[in-house]
Amino acid sequence: MTLMKRNTKIVATFGPATAKPEMIRILLNAGVDVARLNFSHGTHRTHKILFTRLREAAANLCRPLTILQDLQGPKIRVGTLKNEPWSLKPGEVLEITSARNQNHPAHLPIPLENLPRLLTPHDHILLDDGNIELEVVSIRGESIQARVLLPGEVYSHKGVNLPGVSLPTGALTPKDLRDLKFGLELGVDAVAISFVRKAEDIEYIRELCQTLSPEHADIMLIAKLERPEALHNLEAIIQASDGVMVARGDLGIELSPQAVPIAQKQIIHTANLNLKIVITATQMLDSMTDSPRPKRAETSDVANAIFDGSDAVMLSAETASGKYPLEAVKMMHQIILQAEKHLDRWGHWKGIFPHTQSQDDIFYMSLAARELAHDRNVAAIAVFTMSGRTARYMSKIRPSVPILAFTPREKTYHRMNLFYGVIPHLVPEAQTIEEMLHVVENAMVTSAAIRTGQQIVLICGYPIQSSAPSNLALLHTIGGVR
């Protein structure tokens, strides 16, 4: 089935429910643009198998696929319980230790070094995405006594949040470092960095990528915004990264649920102004983990993320471990299509920038191409790019016509599938403008997207063989090359 035109990209997390080759093929056909590998779960062996299957499926379908490695980060988790689930009752007082394993039935292990010195009485401890809430009653040496405010069942390795507590953790844990090196060796297209607090976190990891794998020094780094500190340093973090993820799960616990919508709008708007990718994530169609149909509020949530200006929207447990992964992708696809029909009226991001926004020539070339496309009523904008930067800028400027991005570099080809409204093409390297135009026309004939006699705008660097940044915009009529 040929999908209807869709600009917003779909990120799907692949896991136990979607690891088989046939299911991967089905989901890519259903509309998945970006495959997320969640390194909070699984092993290097299982991720390598999944990565290989994803690449093979995309190649067999003759289409690009961005593969996103999501590092766990310094996430605090419950240790290993002897008997689970442990059912906590309202008002119950339990003892918290920094041990890795439960050594007493009334002790809750939270393996975080110096935990007693980080907390004070009346601090709150949230477990399992805030479904269970404890209040610190007292601290005696290495032992913490806490009362259950919000009861529930605790399982091993569930997440722990300490709202308002500044954690002495670095950008990467030892596990993250091993995982990052492994991901670079695999050849992932982008890396999502969890619990980013400041721009220096991103800069450190970029330098690390250069050291670990110089050929992947330009890999896309996506900053996951999950802590209040990140919002205080938002502008600097966005400028240091290639994109951001609105990770609303932990963000909603660390802030408050009612503060998340405002933070989401702030993050998306700031990312767009800085020409950076933005992914909105977490619980977008959460009910479809166990149900074939979403809740009405969830469909509104996805649509509003698109109206806010998201480049991509993400599925997590819905596709990684849920019962209805295919239905979730299809539903996401349909919601996007419906929302995009009404972007002119309800969309907040129109690709309009302050005049002082950038001193980059590529930015102004992209603006000029959009205006030329609108003035001449052209059918598409064709971009020739080596790094993908021109395609990203063109994407953020939001022209009203398709963006066809041509590159001879395979990693750029896959990377650009994350960009809003961009249709990547892998082509031989052109030596002249005439060769570029032949490539464009062949692509048009193959896809039957544009007819002879229609016009396109071509953007490229000139001279061609110099790999110069984009500095040329050309109005071309299809069928005019002999």
Active site residues: 36, 77, 224, 282
For residue 101, the 8-state DSSP code is B
Q: Are 470 and 385 spatial neighbours (Cβ–Cβ below 8 Å)? A: yes
Kindly state the tokens that stand for 303: 């649509």
User: Helix H segments across 187-259?
Assistant: 199-212, 228-232, 234-240, 248-254
Q: Are 420 and 312 spatial neighbours (Cβ–Cβ below 8 Å)? A: yes
Bridging pattern class, strands 220-225 and 243-247 = parallel
Bridging pattern class, strands 152-154 and 86-88 = antiparallel
Sign of CA dihedral 49, 53, 59, 60: positive
Kindly state the tokens that stand for 300: 């509104």
Measured distance CA(456)–CA(407) in Å, rounded: 17
Measured distance CA(176)–CA(184) in Å, rounded: 12
For the chain, report the end-to-end CA distance as a whole number of angstroms. Answer: 34
Q: Which of 258, 316, 251 is nearest to 286 (CA)?
A: 316
Q: Are 158 and 125 spatial neighbours (Cβ–Cβ below 8 Å)? A: no
Enumerate residues 6+ apart whose C-beta is below 8 A from 105.
82, 83
Q: Which of 37, 34, 99 is nearest to 71 (CA)?
A: 37
Residue tagged 């649920």 (tokens): 257
Measured distance CA(335)–CA(338) in Å, rounded: 5
| DSSP 3-state of 112 | coil
